[in-house]
Chain A
């Protein structure tokens, strides 16, 4: 391991943080197995791995949230046992979580104050907050309430909150997952600066290009074990991916699309007020999707994608029937069941609790969406054989791995459950498929299966609408891409013309006004 680390740079010095044989056991399951990593000051150290590789467990141990079963941590060469996150913070370990813990109805300053120990006055704290955010180029207005802020701004609060404790060691959990490419670039400037100040950063990500660009060292985990520590700049994205997955990932292949001439899904000037006070208002959304076509919707989370999904699926009804047309039928006023009968199928972002009832069996979850348009229900009685048959067919077609024939949904891994959900819908041969974040939190193998399934479905003549925050995914499978920002949808562009820069600008909302101005001038 030492041969690939830039050990020479640190000759004679000791690592800031060292883990030695760190192991975490849950029953017989090893979440982390004998993990050794060294993190040095002035280093951005990537932690790479698929979902379930053990990244979260490892950083939770380092941040004192859980105790290791075996092994030890050394902090500046001395053994460290953490009783909890507050002790980790007092030693100089900070963490920015992927899911923010902020109160929507409180101001920025109030949220930051809640995360600190409260020894200084609120006024001093606010002043220091402004100071830190100015120095690091993370602009924040302490008096604004969180619900008014974008996701990028919310992340800034978390980062500033961590920086205000002046950490020597900062853990960032997938920080760019919610950012536009431009926002990510700004974040990298901040991280480079923190590194120059002599701090160490542990950077969790699965975006390989980003890791290659930013990080000095990468530790790759797979199945709870350390596979390798390497210099990511000396590797290719493909070689990093191979180490993460432990094999080649199947490439998805698009077959020739048979585009229909008549659109199968049309949205006409859809506007919808949110039913949640902090939700997003959908404004004048229009799109047209032909059979054989895959349209991608990019955008930073929380810009109206959830609201659009609810409106398309019929979980929320539109005022005017004509705003949503499925296969030539006005459907804006129809319930989700009626829309399914028209041949539409839906895959929501949240697998557990939305796409499935977690504590129910797969056969029952097949019934959840299959009851509308299939032979699963006869005269009000459930045909259990038919529901089980759907489970078996989905299992076979999409390689769903499970412990028994018909387990509870919650017992499946994320990837396998997602394959089941997508399979359940595709097996109904839908005319229109609306799918949100199809491979979110899914391992690379399952993601390839799902993307291929979407391509095949489109090739067979269905219209597919994919919402995703993963631009690489959209580039891989879509024909056209539109961007959602503040409840508005941009004009779709051909995927081959959609550069990251163009999409990033639209995701940040900056070019919308120009576009509108151009539109007005042209009219």
Chain B
């Protein structure tokens, strides 16, 4: 008797919808085992992780704030992945966006510049992120370099550039030598939605991007081109769609969205530029994109769920002394199960009872 994977005649739409849930379920089981090994009560730990943050307003707002960059980045990434372009460097594009936008905030700091500053910062951030994403895309199209490697390596370049800027030229002279810029002026800050709350305008922008992504993919010819190039490259060429052009386009869009997310994070919840502005949003967004089935609405839900793990992780650290890195372990396991469960869309498990009559000469 053996267990074999058998190809399905048709893709299973049911599994396509259920597979993220199966993946989440299996992740929770694995995490329970992990908590038990750490000597914590699994039920209590999962409660702190996934239930407690949903019970108070502050945590709920914080989840939305954390989900904002995740959703924005993942929307862009989903376009890349649908077109079979593998942008792994959203983290770097996020940082470059933050740097490009902060440049204006630093330059106008202390002047009486008007309310045009924030929109201009966002524009700069989007352009910066897009240009930075175009580097691996151009290398791919022009020289055939693997965009997976180049986009990933550029993350570290961006990280070090930011580090240099806040320790050198942009350091706040009154900042006690801490590696940070001065606190941004009010005109260079993303406004909060409710006075005294944490929710800010970025959340609204993220929702607009979800809607825009949904319209782009389902209603426009560009969205169709993106989907065909990924699903059937030869048919796309026959349709007259240029895959190189689409690689450049999807990389540019996803870089712009990551850059925008970067400046919103810096000019919003953080308030100044400093190292460590991202707990790995650009990487977590990859999980969000796949958990959300590369579908804008799915991404919104998945983004909120993974934001929950960040908040839950912080609370678990405080309440149960569970190391913060467990959150990353959780996210890694989740991606693993999501990708594994996806194979069930096209394949199914089958028990094969090998007949006893098989001759020894076989194979």
Contact = CB atoms under 8 A, between A and B. Distances in A.
Contacts of A288: none
A151 to B, nearest CB: 22
Given A364-B224, A382-B224, A81 B357 contact: yes
A286 to B, nearest CB: 25
Contacts of B37: none
Interface residues of A, number: 39
B112 interface: no
Interface stretch (B228-236, B253-261, B333-341): B228-236
Contacts of B362: 83-84, 86-87
Contact of B355 (A27, A81, A337, A348): A81
Nearest to B239: A368
A63 to B, nearest CB: 14
A309 to B, nearest CB: 10
Interface string B1-45: 000000001110000000000000000000000000000000000
Nearest to A79: B357
A380 B10 contact: no
A340 interface: yes
B221 A83 contact: no
A86 B361 contact: yes
B11 A359 contact: yes
Given A360-B231, A377-B221, A83 B240 contact: no
B363 A355 contact: no
Contacts of A335: 240
Interface string A64-96: 000000000000000001011011001000000
A484 B357 CA distance: 52
B222 interface: yes
A335 B359 CA distance: 58
A169 interface: no
Contacts of A346: 238
Interface hub of A364, A368, A377 (most chain B Cβ within 10 A): A368
Contacts of A368: 228, 235, 238-239
Interface string B208-244: 0000000000011110100110011011111110000
B359 A87 contact: yes
Contacts of A340: 240
A187 B276 CA distance: 74
B238 A315 contact: yes
A354 B234 contact: yes
B47 to A, nearest CB: 41
B319 interface: no
A353 interface: yes
A90 B363 CA distance: 11
Contacts of A360: 227-228, 231-232
Contact of A380 (B221, B357, B361): B221
A357 B240 contact: no
Contact of A83 (B10, B236, B239, B359): B359
Interface hub of B222, B238, B355, B362 (most chain A Cβ within 10 A): B238
Interface residues of B, number: 26
B222 A372 contact: no
Interface in A322-351: 335-337, 340, 346, 348, 350
B351 interface: no
Contact of B238 (A26, A84, A355, A410): A355
B218 to A, nearest CB: 9
A408 B13 CA distance: 12
Nearest to B234: A354
Nearest to A358: B232
A355 B359 contact: no
B127 to A, nearest CB: 22
A357 B220 contact: no
A380 B235 contact: no
Contacts of A336: 237-240
A367 B220 CA distance: 11
Given A356-B232, A368-B228, 18 more contacts: A81-B355, A83-B358, A86-B361, A315-B238, A353-B232, A353-B234, A357-B236, A359-B231, A360-B228, A360-B232, A364-B224, A368-B238, A372-B240, A381-B219, A381-B221, A382-B219, A382-B224, A411-B10
Interface of A: 26-27, 81, 83-84, 86-87, 90, 313-315, 335-337, 340, 346, 348, 350, 353-360, 364, 367-369, 371-372, 377, 380-382, 408, 410-411
Top-6 shortest CB links A-B: A337-B240, A357-B232, A83-B362, A368-B239, A83-B358, A336-B240
Interface of B: 9-11, 219-222, 224, 227-228, 231-232, 234-240, 355, 357-359, 361-363
